[in-house]
Amino acid sequence: MTDQLMAVLLSAAMAIAAGLVGCFVVIRRMSLASDALSHVALPGIGVALAFDLHPMVGAGAALVLGALLVWGMERRTGISTETIIGVVFSLALAVGTLLATGEELVDALLGSPGKLGGWEVGAGILGAAAVAAFVLVARHRLVLSLVSADVARTAGVGVARVELLFLLGFALTVAFGLRYLGVLLMGSLVIIPAATAKHLARSLGEMLTISVTVAVLSTLAGEIIADRLGYPSGPVIIIVAGGLFLLSLPLRRIR
Amino acid sequence: MDHALEVADLTITFGAAPVIQALSFSVARGSTLAIIGPNGSGKTLLFRALIGAVRHGGTVRWAAGTRIGYVPQKLDVQRDLPVTGKDLLVAKAAVARSSDVETDRALELVDLPAATARRPIGTLSGGQFQRLLLAAALIGRPSVLLFDEPTAGIDEPGQEQLYEMIHRVQRAHALTLLLISHELSVVYRHATNVLCLSRGRRCFGPPTEVLTPAAIQECYGAPLRYHRHD
């Protein structure tokens, strides 16, 4: 399989995972938290570079730890997820900016797809497939938990466990996309397609389908356009996604 | 008597102060317990303790094999979400591992047309939404139904219809029903026992004994008008 085909597969897999996770992020009203979540990777990248480790290892570890921290604090304090993520992850951005410097920081913030190694591509595809599979398999438990935790609980759903798995899936989705889109833009690929789908769809199935379609379309079209014009792909992908969102506004479903 | 639920010395603390202290009562299988009391007396908190959603002292013992259907007072979801009634029912059926036939039967029991269930939940009226939640609660063949203020936000004729429907469903499935309500006339008519939660006097017993003007004034701190159907 050629490197180019693998890169296309990675883009599509990441976009599918982001589109699926994004729907539940939007339903949970965690849109802003999505951006903040991606920031927690920065101190991980900084620490990894300081110890001569691969930046993805640091980013992934920091995101998983961040998700566990948010889950634990939410359960102990009762403060909303969005508030906790806002505080914890903005703090992480401040620490990360001090730890990562120069070119590393720019790569971390905006991504560097051209520098992806073979194992990174493989791990990204497998990880994104795992996250997408989790969302599809757990979607009924997620819907019940999000609509009413108490209804879910009486139906036998382990609400705390589902919430933790969702946060981890969310964190991993961001982690897989970081090297590709960067800290600043990965959160946008989670949110914009789902936000577009939210106002076009009439059911959850439609929302998932539209969100994935918009995410994949934005990613692939963004890469082609960026390649033709000689721009970095990350910002172009998000501009395409944002353009699709704006174009969809006149098509808003009539309520 | 065969009990569906036995509660002993239940204490629930919210913040520093106990909201409910040393509460004991039992609910006979197939009966209806109505829980009344002023706002802030801990009615919803009691329900949440019964389903294991909040920490508490004392014991809550459900009969072996109890399956609970829960209808919350309100849902914390945005009204513009593209989640349909059908999405909610399918999710409940998938988690409860029940069949499509059971979902259709639940919709039939609550008189909710399938076309209405296919609409986004934010577009349903108060009455339709309560019927949908009841249908969802009925999926998975519950033996006990917990209903938190079923008629909140519904007009008076709608309230009457909803209570009639709840009791029709209760009879059809031989359900034990626990109900939080402010509708004392309805409580008087349908409840087997009434539990009145109040910071002052707490009472438990049949409506004829508990729903006296003096007891209600003591429980709510003010007289309340209601219809007695003797």
Residue B28 shares a structural domain with residue B117: no
A226 Cα to chain B: minimum distance (Å): 33
Residue B201 shares a structural domain with residue B220: yes
Residue B102 lies in a domain: yes
CATH number at residue B224: 3.40.50.300
Nearest CB to A151; choose among B81, B84, B136: B136
Nearest CB to A155; choose among B84, B90, B95: B95
Residues of A in contact with B77 (CB under 8 A): 27, 146-147
pTM of the model: 0.82
Number of CB pairs < 8 Å for A and B? 88
Q: What is the ipTM of this complex?
A: 0.84
A123 Cα to chain B: minimum distance (Å): 31
pLDDT in tens, A153-181: 999 999 989 988 998 888 888 887 777 77
Residues B177-205 have a mean pLDDT of 83
pLDDT value for A96: 73
Lowest-confidence region among A34-38, B11-15, B105-109, B187-191: A34-38
- Domain boundary residue, one of B90, B109, B140: B140
Q: How far is CA A148 from CA A28, A153, B72, B117, B212, in A?
A: 11, 9, 8, 18, 36
Residue B175 shares a structural domain with residue B206: yes
pLDDT in tens, A180-221: 777 667 888 899 999 999 989 999 999 999 999 999 999 999
- For residue B112, the enclosing domain spans 77-140
Residue A201 and residue B140: Cβ atoms within 8 Å? no
Residue B222 shares a structural domain with residue B186: yes
Residue B81 shares a structural domain with residue B52: no
Residue to substitute from A144, A154, A159, A209, interface B, most B β-carbons within 10 A: A154
- Domain boundary residue, one of B140, B167, B187: B140
Q: What is the rounded distance in angstroms from the CA atom of residue B48 to the CA atom of residue B10?
A: 12
A204: Cβ contacts below 8 Å, ≥ 6 apart:
A23, A139, A143, B82, B83, B84, B87
* Overall residue count recorded for chain A in this entry: 255
- Which range has highest mean pLDDT (B6-20, B96-110, B134-148)? B134-148
A243: Cβ contacts below 8 Å, ≥ 6 apart:
none
Nearest CB to B68; choose among A27, A154, A207: A154
User: With 60 as the cut, is the pLDDT of residue B228 above it?
Assistant: no
Nearest CB to A154; choose among B69, B83, B90: B69
Residue B78 and residue A29: Cβ atoms within 8 Å? yes
A112 Cα to chain B: minimum distance (Å): 35
Q: What is the rounded distance in angstroms from the CA atom of residue B118 to the CA atom of residue B124?
A: 10
User: With 90 as the cut, is the pLDDT of residue A120 above it?
Assistant: no
Q: At A255, is the pLDDT very low, low, confident or very high (cuts 50, 70, 90)?
A: very low
